[in-house]
Each structure stands twice: as C-alpha cells, then as structure tokens.
Amino acid sequence: MQAKELEIIKMPESDTPLEPIIEWYNVARERANAPSYQIEAHYFGISLPRLRNIIDVNQFDNTQIELLDKYNIELNLAAGIAQKREYWDKMLTDDYLANLVKSSHRLTELYLTQKGDLIDIEDIMQVLIKEGYCSKVYQSRLSKKGRPNRKNQAQRFEAMLQDILRKIARGTVPSVKQTQVVFQAINQERDTAEFKQHWTSASLKISCPKSVELIENWDGN
C-alpha cells in the first residue's frame, strides 16, 4: 500500500528550486514511514546521498528556503550550507549568495568560507589550479624574466619556480614541497614591485579573481 501511494507522488527531477523538493519529501516520507534512510531511499527510487542532501536542506525554514531559491541554489550546494549551521548567519544573506552564484567553483567557495581562518596553502593552491592561475603567472615570469639558467646560482630558485609553475599549468598535481616553493616565492616578493607585476596584476584580477584575492589576503603562514 505504501509503495502504491508513493507512485502517485512525482519527485521533482531538477535540483532547483528547493521548495517543491522539500514539499515532496515531507509528504512522501510520511506516506513511506520507512524504518531507515536506506529503505526510504529505496522506496523513493533515489540514491542515499541525494536523500541525505534533501534531509539536510529540510532543516531550513520557509524563509531560508525562499532566500536560497531566490538565487537558484541547487540541492547539493544548499546541503553543504545546511551542514554548517554555525555559518548560517554569514551564508544565508543576500550578499553572500549573490556572490556565490557568480562563482564558477561554488563548492570551493563554500569550502573556503567554512574553513575561515584555518585555510592553508594547499587549500589556496586548489583554487589557483582551478582558475588556471599558475599558467598565467608562469607566462608572466617567462616573458619578463626570460628562461633562467639552472647553472647560475643566482637564477637557480627562479628556474625551479618556473619549472613547477609550468608543470602545474600542464596538469601536474603539485607535491607539498612544490606548493611550498610557490608560496615561498610569493612571500619573498610580497614587499617588492614583482608582487603586483607577477602575482596580483590587473589582468590576473580579471582572469583569476579568487586566486588573487586569496594571495593578497594570505598572511604568509
């Protein structure tokens, strides 16, 4: 009987807006009366991770759901917000959501917000990679400094840095040591004209805005 009743209720196929998804779930779960989430997901014909996302989003009240729908926040992103109740005051605002939807890496933005002051250089590096930042920095250094000579002691660090940036630009995932070299270079040039020239230039602010913001705000640790 339960299964037959559930067939009458059509689950919204899209991940946005959220309101009809939550309305569907609250009716469907009452009819299913399942003893566990696994069985509930089976009744609904959906994956357990999707069900958990719906359950997370169901924590929001109607006003919060309306706000999320105003910015077309999809289910998985809304669930990510729901899982960090301590950040709701910051994230459930027009300003935050308006900026979030403009980002091409929304889950990364959400992750960085949740980490707050705990963000480290490996977190930042993931953003640099996604925005193609290292490729642009490499091209900038190559065009302005030329290709350094590894045999020249004074140029050895620059040669190593350019090699790392070039490899990242070509898709190599940097090691912890390689990431440290990149950020060592940023630190060394922070108080020089090269910082703005190579790391935070006007063109980089346009093409890699989040990367530049993170580099400018990084405290050097």
Residues (pLDDT < 70) of the chain are 1-10, 104-118
Give me the pLDDT at residue 108, please: 65
Give me the pLDDT at residue 48, please: 85
Say if residues 68 and 78 touch (Cβ distance below 8 Å). yes
Amino acid letter, 22: I
Give me the pLDDT at residue 61, please: 96
Say if residues 10 and 70 touch (Cβ distance below 8 Å). no
Give me the pLDDT at residue 126, please: 85
* Mean per-residue pLDDT over the chain, rounded: 86
Give me the pLDDT at residue 20, please: 94
Say if residues 82 and 56 touch (Cβ distance below 8 Å). yes
d(CA 73, CA 61): 15
The closest of 123, 172, 162 to 140, measured between CA atoms, is 162
Say if residues 128 and 185 touch (Cβ distance below 8 Å). no
pTM assigned to the model: 0.55
Give me the pLDDT at residue 189, please: 93
